[in-house]
Structure 1
């Protein structure tokens, strides 16, 4: 019973570590987005303030210049402005360039965040937490009495064999595909071939035996096995 509780606790700890990694990744993404939008607001506010100050200074200079000019000079300047046509304000051009640059940086930042998240997920999927051969322990069992092999997919024995395969290979039961699971050459042994769906040609071969009162125990794991 102590072994069963220890195994359950170990399995819960593994699940908790995976959940913590995902939560940490999500928190990092949210924090990065908050910092980005805060910086963006700060940049826009600063640009608007500088533009307003420049416009105010230009207006004051123009009014002083107009007070000093004669009507004839003012008329000539008006004719020159009409003939030259409107010009794009430098401040507006700079603002458009800055907005384009910020948009590009935003797309790059978001792309980098997505790439980092995908790399972390792929790394977590590829990582295995299985022990080395010879260090496996029975996974625990709900079966009582004398053990009898039951390869019915709806049976308790089948569910416990699936759990042992996941424990031996480090693959989650949700992603793991069982290509073969049958007798392992003895009444208390089973042999299974499992992998991720995309790695059908590189499965794990797992040989395990049933320990009375303690459950299935992996005794041999072979990677890239031939079926």
Structure 2
């Protein structure tokens, strides 16, 4: 009886060790991929998350809206400049009627000067001294030293007729000559600054400026 139990126990041990050995051999020869099958989805997900499917290239800057605003402002500024160029300029404090009168008076003075020059040429080019040259001004006279004014231009005309200089002469000064209706000027031929003339002028009511003396 005891021998039978011992034999049975030995048989159980042999079967147990045989099964354990078979399991160990199976584990040793089993492919590694089979062991990782349960964890397969995780690495794939990591790979997909790390590597994008395509490359993105930015063709526009991040502040594209700012560029659009700048372009819009530049366009509006250009339109405003075009509008300003098209519109006639308006100067404050200038009366169009007075400007027209000045222009007309200047044209009359120029015509009168040309007529006087013709007379001077006909008489042999003698300088006009102590003789009023005429005027387009009316009413009480006020001497003006504003360049381009009618009175200024008539002073220049009297100086040219008295000195024989042309319109290209250099005017060094025209100033008060010792009274409200007197002036003194310094002029020279064009590009000849050393040949200066000192010219004294005096106003004659209703007849214009008259050169009283010329010193060279």
The one of the two structures with greater contact order (alpha-carbon pairs below 8 A, sep at least 6) is: 1
Question: Normalization by structure 2: what TM-score?
Answer: 0.44
Bigger radius of gyration, 1 or 2?
2
TM-score, normalised with respect to structure 1: 0.42
Higher share in helix:
1
